[in-house]
Chain A
Amino acid sequence: MPKEQQMSVSVWRGGATGAFQSFDVKMEDNQTVLDVVAWIQQYADPTLSYRYACRVGMCGSCAMMVNGVPRWTCRTHVNKVLKDGHMEIGPLRNLPVIKDLATDMDPFFDKWIAAEGLHHPTQTRDDPIETIDPANAARVEINAGIECINCSVCYAACDTVAGNPDYLGPAALQRAWSVYNDSKDANKQAILDAVSGVGGCHNCHSQGSCAVHCPNDLNPMNAIAGLKRETARNFFKRRT
């Protein structure tokens, strides 16, 4: 019987301070990074903390840093990231670490609210449902944004967030851009004001890490450019 192949996996243990702990994990033909983390927790060390839910790339809860790059671990195959039989798994960057691989996502979601990425209704539940033309330009613009699964990979990838903790970040701004383009939204000015402050869209340096690392191939940088354009246009309009 051939000797089973092993890989060495360094996993972050602790909170803001801590260290990487090494585990030997059996290699399988089809194995995701999340499978590896689950194997360690089930067979090597049950005290390992991590977060996941759907395992099929829909819920956005299993994102981690793999070899220093933010990834959705449930859809990342081990053979794609393994380097010389080794990989390093850490908690998402730019977020407070609760324990091991679990980060506190509150700052990420609080910024969605701060960016006014929430619905401001034009009608009540008693009104008939408004018809939206799917080919309408504003509606087409929204298409990309609504595929966001809130995994925070873009937020972890963003160097501007790393340098400026106030910055709202790619996901929140992309959400704001989607809501801004929604013809059913009643308070577009509130959105423009929310993204024009100290942590607003104008901090973006267009480095594009968000678009590079987004697991769903979305382009938050494009949404942020849209917000910059609209706020600049509005800047003169409000003064005349």
Chain B
Amino acid sequence: MTLRLYMAQRITALVMAPLVLMHIAVMIYAIQGGLSSAEILGRTQGSILWFAFYGTFVVAVSIHAAIGLRTVLSEWAGLRGTALNAVAWAILALLLILGMQAVYGVTAT
């Protein structure tokens, strides 16, 4: 863990904190009248705001989690050097692809 990785992980944590609160608040608000996919998609489809909200969320989560798992793999599985960085980049790519695909899925019209 270098200073750069440390800062990236802390800054993404700062970004996520308000997004998590907003996400939970909307969830509680949204289920008040029952939960349906039509209602959710009606809110998110075509919305640049929700695309930006969850897009930012996915980017922050992907960076944060990739760095965290990189540390776990290094300390618990003994991965080092190029192999460690390759796995970390792969985790970042996977989370970004899965996350952005989901964001696209609910916001595209």
Contact = CB atoms under 8 A, between A and B. Distances in A.
Q: Are the chains A and B members of one assembly?
A: yes
Interface stretch (A20-28, A114-122, A193-201): A193-201
B6 A163 contact: no
Interface string B1-16: 1110111001000000
B83 to A, nearest CB: 14
Given A160-B75, A163-B76, A203 B1 contact: yes
Most B-side CB within 10 Å, residue of A160, A197, A200, A203: A203
B28 to A, nearest CB: 33
A59 to B, nearest CB: 32
Contacts of B76: 163
B67 to A, nearest CB: 11
Contacts of A200: 1-3
Interface in B58-79: 71, 74-76
Nearest to A159: B75
B3 A198 contact: no
A32 interface: no
B10 A232 contact: yes
Contacts of B10: 232
B75 A202 contact: no
- Kindly state the interface size class of chain B when it binds its partner: 10 to 19
A164 B74 CA distance: 7
Nearest to A204: B1
Contacts of B5: 202
A232 B74 CA distance: 23
A228 to B, nearest CB: 7
B105 to A, nearest CB: 36
A235 interface: yes
Interface string A31-69: 000000000000000000000000000000000000000
B7 A235 contact: yes
A235 B7 CA distance: 8
B87 to A, nearest CB: 16
A234 to B, nearest CB: 9
List the 8 closest A-B pairs by CB distance, nearest first: A163-B75, A196-B3, A202-B6, A202-B1, A203-B1, A231-B3, A235-B7, A164-B75
11 contacts: A197-B2, A200-B1, A200-B2, A200-B3, A202-B2, A202-B6, A203-B71, A228-B6, A231-B6, A232-B3, A232-B10
Given A200-B1, A202-B2, A231-B6, 17 more contacts: A160-B75, A163-B74, A163-B75, A164-B75, A198-B1, A198-B2, A202-B1, A202-B3, A202-B5, A202-B6, A203-B71, A228-B6, A231-B3, A232-B3, A232-B6, A232-B10, A235-B7
Interface of A: 160, 163-164, 196-198, 200, 202-203, 228, 231-232, 235
